[in-house]
Amino acid sequence: MAADDSPAKHTSGRPQLSSMRTSSYLKEHQQYRPPKLSPDNHFGIDTVVEDLQGARISPPKNFSPFNGVPSKDDPPRILEGASHDFTHPNCAPTRGTKSDRLVATLIYKSTSPRTPHVPSPRFPSSNSDIPANLAPTTNIESFPLEPPAAAEPEPLDHLYGSYISPLCVTSFLHLMSTFPLPQGVGESTSSHRCLDDPEHPLVVELTLSPAPSPSYLSLADLRKHELIYRFEREWNVDVVLQRDTLWRRYPRLVVFDMDSTLITQEIIDLLAATITDPPDLGAKVADITSRAMHGELEFDAAFRERVALLKGLPATIFEQLRPVLNITKGVPELLKALKRLGVKTAVLSGGFIPLTGWLAGELGIDHAYANEVVIDDSGHLTGEVKGRIVGRERKQELLLEIAEKEGIALEQVVAVGDGANDLLMLDTAGLGVAWNAKPRVQLEANARLNGASLVDLLYLFGLTSEEVDLLTA
């Protein structure tokens, strides 16, 4: 059979190079082709657009160039290394309105952790390799096997770190969100500042705007709310709530109690301890002092009873006690900082003027008031007190007198004390701080601090640790 009479053979044709011949087969068949270059080897935006051949270049949503005015729906952000929103939670209020911000200062009580037997990533003694905001140990033996008692909340700081952890802050903000806002306000805003260390802060200042509705809960009641106390026990912190006002940041007078505040002892107990006959006198006086400080006894009567037991002591005993006085940690630094800020200071003591006046001179305190004992011709104590006793009412009166004399408004007065005889003074001042105080005083004071150093008081004014170091250097 002739070749041309055979069945047609269906063979694929040989590939032919098109007119767009190039020197590379790969370049010809790859999905992406570089734009064609013009004869003068010019490559610019015009060649790119020409090569797109009608491809869609518009964004999927409406787009308008930024004209310097932030968009309400999509405010501009700085994305490289930082994030910034053009919102105004901490800005001045609009004209004709007033700001209503609440400042909450959270201070971790690092010296008294609720569970000291459990190591913590915040303490130098911990050698855990787990991140600081997670559990501090991989040893299951270290964790409690039984749930806590129903009356006491579970301590959380040993699980999430012995500092103000992010979860601690979140828990507090959630707590505050349960309180109703003022009428007409839809939502609240908050911001925070780590006042000492951004990684593992022991002091964090939170600003909430607006404050919870005062018609529902006043600031005084909010400070005493059971949820606040429970939060403090759970996270081992002190929570200090204050209105964000000018006076909070600029105090002009700070008034201190002396015994168990500026010093760690009670003067009258030190005096009684020097008496050996009868041998139980010191313990008896200390018991009366403790009951008076807890508010179980009326202070003035209890004081006269204790002074009567000191009859016969030589007046030189006050000089002998000077070296024994133990200044509370942080007091010299705190007073130095206050002096550099131009703040006046005073000590109102239920003790005795010979020691109170001497201590005020040593520490550079501007005003000092205390009780004056009667000394007979032989130079011994008669067991009597001259004039009015510096107790609850007298401390309040002296605070008012000093403020008036110095021309200082009570909103700029801070009082610090620990006993029941300090309560009127703490309530009269713009801010009353219970320092490692008795339970009743902790419940009734505007603020409470239970740390190791009185320098913590400066954080309540909004100062950072950097500023505190500058003032105390």
221 catalytic per annotation: no
Tokens 């609440």 belong to residue: 102
For residue 298, count other CB atoms closer than 10 A to its CB. 13
418 catalytic per annotation: no
The answer to whether the CB of 458 falls within 8 A of the CB of 468 is yes
Distance CA 272, CA 251 (A): 38
Considering 100, 157, 196, 259, which one is annotated as catalytic?
259
The DSSP secondary structure of 226-268, one letter per residue, reads: HHHHHHHHHHTEEEEEEE--HHHH---EEEE-IIIIIBSS-HH
Considering 238, 257, 269, 456, which one is annotated as catalytic?
257
Residue 335 C-alpha from the chain's centroid: 20
Distance CA 416, CA 255 (A): 6
SS percent in the chain: helix, strand, coil, step 5:
35, 15, 50
Distance CA 162, CA 171 (A): 15
Cβ-Cβ contacts under 8 Å for 429 (sequence gap 6 or more)? 255, 399, 410, 413, 414, 415
Instruction: Give the residue numbers annotated as catalytic, written as ranges.
Output: 257, 259
